Amino acid sequence: MGNIFSDRISDVPRSFIRDILKLTLDESIISFAGGMPNRDLFPVKEISAAASRLFAECGKDILQYSVSEGYPGLREWIAGRYKTQKDINVHPDNILITSGSQQGLDLLGKTFLNEGDHVVIEEPGYLGAIQAFSVYKTRFHPVPVDMSGIDTARLEQALREHPVKLFYAVPDFQNPSGISYSEENRRRVSALIEKKRDTLLIEDDPYGELRFRGAAKSSFHRFIPENTVLLGSFSKIVAPSFRIGWLVAGDEIMEKLVIAKQASDLHTNYFGQRVILRYLEDNDIDRHIEKIRASYGNQRDAMIEAIEEHFPGEARFTRPEGGMFLWITLPEGLPAMDVFKQAVARKVAFVPGDPFYVNRQGVNTFRLNYSCVDEETIGTGIKRLGVVLKEMMGKKGG
């Protein structure tokens, strides 16, 4: 065959993490590279019981094709949860069940992005969003985030200089950095977006329920519902293998998204939707989430304690209030990729920052995951990493 591939697919970055993870398969390596929830916390017995009851009571009903929007009962459950958890009024008709949040991103790209359209993305930003939007040959405008949220001056500038269609944000416990937007930051961002008739804020919220510190913040949906599309997922609070997420959008947008959904995969796997709903109905999800929070909170504390003990003082790090990740910034001029190579040789791994940037390489930042590693192992791994950092930063200084 000749080269008959589309231009778009040639532009999408290959998953760097995928390649990196191959280097960390060695079981003697302590890996902080993962992006997965802790498998030991999956409610196996409860999900198994939910599936058995469903088969007994509904039989063939759960095996047929279903509707593109998603199972009505599940959409109602999600709407109810928004009301109790975030005091947001969302109608079930404005919820589309997606094949994971990742598909939500793809559907939004499909529905909104022409070639060359402008998208603001956080810097560092979520790799999956960069991939999903790259497919639609978008122009990215990265705006930095720090511990209080996104840089609003830079955001304002991007909105002034370009006709930005989408602004993609993960305001709670961001992947990769673990930072959250302050309430004040959210208000300021909302004020900027609200003025724009043709800009949508994509609020991706896979980790919001996993808060182990500080007070909950407002969803952008509370401030600027017309300009907001909300994304959510069961992957981090129940289990990821079902690939069940959702998005919340206004009527007009929903209509287009449903067309995109039909063309993409007809509907999200219905069997999984029914099992998840049955699990949610038969169990106390708040108690389950509390267990995850407590566990991740302790793991995060163990990691910060170990970093404070073992890392050189020049390495800065974020202090997440929830979620699964924290973010290290090394002194200028020390590429995380170089550190990674040494670290793997010392049997400890992480994800170098590079894939979380658009058009930047050799960055001095990296991501650490604490959700998949127990506290003791965190101590051991961070100590190993500290040795590598001290060596390399010593060399650097000397």
Residues in region 96-115 near a second copy by CB under 8 A: 98-100, 102-103, 106, 110-115
**Footprint of a second copy on residues 264-323 (CB under 8 A)?**
264-272, 275
Q: Are 179 and 365 in contact (CB under 8 A)?
A: no
Give 179's contacts (C-beta < 8 A, 6+ positions apart): 145, 146, 147, 148, 149, 173, 318, 320, 327
| Minimum distance of a second copy from residue 296's CB (angstroms) | 16
**In angstroms, what is the minimal distance from the CB of 317 to a second copy?**
26
Minimum CB distance to a second copy, residue 233 (Å): 11
Choose between 150 and 200: whose C-beta lies nearer to a second copy.
Answer: 200
Residue 371 near a second copy by CB under 8 A: no
CB of 305 to a second copy, least distance (A): 27
342 class by beta-carbon count within 10 Å (0-12 exposed, 13-18 middle, 19+ buried): middle
Which residues from 50-79 bind a second copy, rule CB under 8 A?
Answer: 51-52, 55-56, 59-66, 68
Report the site for a second copy in 232-251 (rule: CB under 8 A).
235, 239-244, 250
Q: Which of 19, 26, 48, 213 binds a second copy (CB under 8 A)?
A: 48
Work out how close the CB of 38 gets to a second copy at its nearest, in angstroms, rounded to a whole number.
10
3 state DSSP class of 139: strand
Candidate residues 74, 90, 119, 200; the one interacting with a second copy per rule CB under 8 A? 200
Nearer to a second copy (CB atom), residue 64 or residue 84: 64
**First CA to last CA distance, the chain:** 54
By CB under 8 A, residue 387 contacts a second copy? no
Q: Give CA–CA dist 183/191, Å, rounded.
A: 13
Q: Does 223 bind a second copy (CB under 8 A)?
A: no
Residue appearing with tokens 């030991």: 40
195 in contact with a second copy (CB under 8 A)? no
146/181 Cα distance (integer angstroms): 8
Give yes or no for residue 226 binding a second copy (CB under 8 A).
yes
- DSSP 8-class letter at 277: H
Per CB under 8 A, does 93 bind a second copy?
A: no
Rounded (5°) CA angle 25-102-338: 40
Based on CB atoms, which residue is closest to a second copy, 225 or 362?
A: 225
Size of the residue set binding a second copy (CB under 8 A)? 83
Cα torsion 355, 122, 222, 196: sign: negative
Give the three-state DSSP class for 326: strand
Question: What b/e readout covers 312-327, taking b as 16+ CB neighbours within 10 angstroms?
Answer: eeebebbebbbbbbbb
Q: CB-side exposure of 382: number of CA atoms within 13 Å?
A: 29
Q: Is 36 in the site for a second copy (CB under 8 A)?
A: yes
Nearer to a second copy, 47 or 95 (CB): 47
Provide the minimum distance between the beta carbon of 382 and a second copy in the complex, in angstroms, as a whole number.
24
CB of 187 to a second copy, least distance (A): 21
How far apart are alpha carbons 277 and 72 in whole angstroms? Answer: 10
Q: How far is the CB of 188 from a second copy (least distance, A)?
A: 21
Which region, judged by CB under 8 A, interacts with a second copy, from 8-16, 88-96, 303-311, 316-324? 8-16
Q: Please, which residue, 228 or 299, has the CB nearer to a second copy?
A: 228
Strand order in the sheet with 365-369: 316-317, 325-329, 365-369, 351-352
Minimum distance of a second copy from residue 387's CB (angstroms)? 31
Distances, alpha carbon 255 to alpha carbons 3, 32, 73, 134, in Å:
36, 41, 20, 24
Structure tokens at 5: 């591939």
Stretch that binds a second copy, among 25-33, 170-178, 254-262, 380-388 (CB under 8 A): 254-262
Distance of alpha carbon 279 from alpha carbon 358, whole angstroms: 39
- Kindly indicate which of the ranges 77-85, 94-102, 182-190, 212-220 contains the residues binding a second copy, using the contact rule CB under 8 A: 94-102
Q: Does 190 bind a second copy (CB under 8 A)?
A: no
Q: How far is CA 16 from CA 5, 33, 377, in A?
A: 21, 12, 25
Restricting to residues 119-138, name those near a second copy by CB under 8 A. 128, 131-132, 134-136
